Amino acid sequence: MRALPETDRLVLRELGPSDLGALTAILSDAETMVAYEGPFDRTEVATWLARQERRYVEDGFGLWAVTLRETGELIGQCGPTRQVIEGESMVEVGYLFNRRWWHQGFAIEAARASRDWGFHNLPVDRVCSKVRDTNLPSMNVAIRNGMTPRRRIVTHYRGVDMPHLVFEITRDEWMLRSEPRRP
Ligand SMILES: CC(C)(COP(=O)(O)OP(=O)(O)OC[C@H]1O[C@@H](n2cnc3c(N)ncnc32)[C@H](O)[C@@H]1OP(=O)(O)O)[C@@H](O)C(=O)NCCC(=O)NCCS
């Protein structure tokens, strides 16, 4: 398998059954899950993990565990996923972090590494992040990741119509960025 991203502070790896506790701490937290229309119950957390594991097999990538290089603690999830947006197959960088670890730059560090991994390893001309139109912290991560809002879509999820902005960065825009790109 292609090596997964590492950064100065973080190591990304595939999620597995032993992560269920750390995953539950993220996905069952009401404040964290506002943009997802509320916290997940145990069944929804298990389904979420199974979906990532299926993605690893079918696509070769998915939302990964974000762990601290120093301790190995799982502090969030981040990674590329394959999504169909307006009939088009896109690679989307997603991110959800445990609230204890917000506001320290970990999400943007993982999102940059996931974006770079996508451009290095996949034959894509664009990478996007799909953000609910009320989710300002997530928009900030997308903007800091060099992305620009390029279209509006409505996603139907958990019984609710959710307007989203699709932030995108093209391969050309990515190549022109001055920050160091990780292999
Ligand atoms: C989206 C989410 C991951 C963003 O988390 P975040 O903590 O705001 O983002 P970062 O980890 O990149 O931290 C950025 C902040 O850390 C600060 N920071 C501190 N040290 C830093 C460093 N070394 N490098 C970069 N930024 C740093 C930045 O100034 C920034 O400050 P701000 O919070 O005032 O904007 C988080 O809100 C979340 O998990 N939300 C719930 C799930 C969700 O909605 N996901 C998105 C679905 S589309």
DSSP string computed for 41-80: -HHHHHHHHHHHHHHHHHTS--PEEEEETTT--EEEEEEE
Contact 140 CB / ligand 1 (< 6 Å):
yes
Domain 10-176 belongs in CATH node 3.40.630.30: yes
pLDDT in tens, 92-140: 999 999 999 999 999 999 999 999 999 999 999 999 999 999 999 999 9
Those residues of the chain that have pLDDT short of 50 are: none
What pLDDT score does 2 carry?
82
Q: Find the helix or strand (DSSP H, E) in which 175 lies.
A: helix 171-176
pLDDT at position 181: 60
Give residue 179's pLDDT.
73
Indicate the top mutation candidate among 34, 138, 147, 168 to test ligand 1's pocket, ranked by most ligand atoms within 8 A of CB: 138
pLDDT at res. 177: 86
**Nearest atom in ligand 1 to 130's CA:** 48
The pLDDT score that the predictor gives to residue 138 is 98
Domain limits, the chain: 10-176
Q: Which amino acid, residue 29?
A: D
Task: Report which of 149, 155, 80 is spatially closest to residue 110, judged by C-alpha positions.
Answer: 80
Mutate to test the pocket of ligand 1, among 29, 34, 81, 102 (most ligand atoms within 8 A of CB): 102
* Phi, psi (degrees; rounded to nearest 5) at 4: -85, 160
Q: How far is CA 51 from the centre of its chain?
A: 14
What is the number of other CB atoms lying within 10 angstroms of the CB of residue 25?
16
pLDDT of residue 182: 57
